[in-house]
Structure 1
């Protein structure tokens, strides 16, 4: 006998089953704490950490209906976002997993709905909400459903772990011999591997900005790694970008998040570089793995920017100068508008900023854009 839940039954069941239990909370707290304290750093590391967390939550959670699981995952996403709202990637991974769950529900419904019933349902006046709650529990045991979703997350982990490989393959086609490149994002491992891969078949010069005040040491290490791979590399002060831009063939930047409108978040100081590039009509390529694409729109760019230690901009020992300055800020990120980027290079191909929304629609469900 096939059992279906009524809307009232489902609402009652959801309240009981989709709460965050102390067991699940104990899994979430260390991750939120690690993000806040910058103990979990690096875009790829953060993405993989969220994948591990969601697998543990799905294994530990008690649910009898897939929509209960959706509500639990949404609440986990809300807690992560509240704990560290500046980190877009954690929300991306939560939404990707929610899309996996919804796709599996849709697949099961399609497989178990007779053709005649499907034809009559086209004429039905039932709302979408009523159709969602009438999920047949006998179609698949929860343990089978659980294992399918966990396997889907493992596949997502593989995609994230191997994201650079898909991007690197395009490097030889985009970089030419004897070209001068400029990158203002020495913190990006993707940019580093992209350039190293291109060096296998191309000879070129890379200009690397010093990235004052937050990433000076990182930029020195970045230059050293490029030199070790026989790439001619020059470290330049940030103030000289405009002067050298006329000689630059391409600007290559890394990004920490790409939004549905085609804009992105990148290192502090990148806005200055891409504006110089636009003035000189130098193409700007942004590298980003698919997991960095977000369905969100940056309605207020300032809310996305994380602020760091202002003492790096103006040392507290210079107290005489500080007395004459109203405010000293040290933004760690810049929002780059889509008109300053020519093409995004991802592990699934290259796309214009105006096409990013389409890639987002293929990987996310619009009902999960707002997790609250």
Structure 2
């Protein structure tokens, strides 16, 4: 007979539901935006979930996190970093399960006598049959292992810029002209600031009309404060200046398993111009932005913003006679990118699938 849940279990379940709803509400209301901020917030959220949730085995925890992860990705499907962090935490748990399974298999092999090996075939052992059902005890505190794994993941995310900056000297040369169409990327900004310590170069910044004009001016101001020569150019002049550009540096919101990425609006056009002029395109991104998902429906990746920024609503005659859209993001295909610069090194778009296989499990690609 199954006993009714205790008052403490019901109270813990209620606290967990309140916590999940609060985090989903923040994502829906855009109180947390940007891949970096979303990734850190998701780590902190999952750490609290691990602490207050009631579960006894690893499989129960995996089921719980998959359900919560499905709700998070459904609430804000274009914040890819949240789903990536959920899958990385699931990978931490599955790695621990496999480690325990290997340890148990080695022990059973070493301890079992040879004369009894045939009789072992007829004996079923729950521990060997399903290692995911290991219970938390003093010897194997799975809860503390998961929390420590999430802390290590947060440390990795926070040190992304430092590890990427180590590659600046090898990639940027003196008196080179660089172009960046993503002035909103803090990773690109830190990359250029670090490179300016040992190299002298010029940066062309596209204004990304109409969404990122203010970000573009702030970006140029920070470069100028670091004595980096910077020039803001209109989006329409990219093809004209591309023949003098040595490299194109872009930031990204998410990198997919096929090597494509989602980034700011207008970047796809810049990459087309770069390909025409044989100019290399370098994408700067942390490992937490790498997603195991495949972009089957590319139109669903593009978010549309306020059309009033393109055509003011005061111009009522024109508004009523045409359809105006203001895309916020672009999808860049892997054919237009030469190298991904990450916190673990530089890689070709063709090699992205291998990195993702090393950090995610295929069972967790679909959280439903």
TM-score (norm 2): 0.90
Distance 1:269 1:50, change over 3 A: same
Does the alignment pair 1:238 with 2:230?
A: no
Q: Which residue of 1 aligns with 2:143?
A: 146
Does the alignment pair 1:63 with 2:60?
A: no
Q: Provide the C-alpha distance between the structure 1 equivalents of 2:257 and 2:76, rounded to a whole number of angstroms.
A: 21
Q: Provide the C-alpha distance between the structure 2 equivalents of 1:45 and 1:222, rounded to a whole number of angstroms.
A: 19
Q: Aligned with 2:141: secondary structure?
A: helix
Q: CA deviation at 1:141?
A: 4.7
Q: Superposed, which structure 2 residues align to 1:165-176 within 5 Å?
A: 165-176=162-173
Q: Which residue of 2 aligns with 1:214?
A: 211
Q: Which residue of 1 aligns with 2:265?
A: 268
User: 4+ residue stretches of structure 1 with deviation over 3 A?
Assistant: 114-121, 130-143
The answer for unaligned runs of 5 or more in structure 1 is 1-8, 10-16, 125-129
Does the alignment pair 1:97 with 2:89?
A: yes
286, 290, 295: which one pairs with 2:287? 290
Does the alignment pair 1:335 with 2:331?
A: yes
Does the alignment pair 1:364 with 2:356?
A: no
Contact 1:108/1:139, CA 8 A, preserved across alignment: no
Q: CA deviation at 1:108?
A: 1.2
Contact 1:168/1:198, CA 8 A, preserved across alignment: yes
Does the alignment pair 1:181 with 2:181?
A: no
Q: CA deviation at 1:135?
A: 4.4
RMSD: 2.4
Q: CA deviation at 1:137?
A: 3.3
Q: Which residue of 2 aligns with 1:306?
A: 303
Distance 1:132 1:205, change over 3 A: farther
- Residues 78-134 of structure 1: CA distance to partner in whole angstroms, max 9, x if unpaired? 01011111111100000000000000111112112246659989xx8xxxxx97645
Does the alignment pair 1:80 with 2:72?
A: yes
Contact 1:64/1:142, CA 8 A, preserved across alignment: no
Q: Aligned with 1:113: secondary structure?
A: helix
Q: CA deviation at 1:307?
A: 1.2
Q: Aligned with 2:250: secondary structure?
A: strand
The answer for unaligned runs of 5 or more in structure 2 is 3-8, 122-126
TM-score (norm 1): 0.89
Q: CA deviation at 1:33?
A: 1.5
Q: Which residue of 1 aligns with 2:5?
A: none
Q: Which residue of 1 aligns with 2:255?
A: 258
Q: Provide the C-alpha distance between the structure 1 equivalents of 2:227 and 2:134, rounded to a whole number of angstroms.
A: 60
Q: Superposed, which structure 2 residues align to 1:96-135 within 5 Å?
A: 96-114=88-106, 117=109, 133=130, 135=132
- Residues 119-177 of structure 1: CA distance to partner in whole angstroms, max 9, x if unpaired? 989xx8xxxxx976454636745981100110000000000011101111101110000
Count of residues paired in the alignment = 350
Q: Which residue of 2 aligns with 1:12?
A: none
Q: Aligned with 2:275: secondary structure?
A: helix
Distance 1:49 1:275, change over 3 A: same
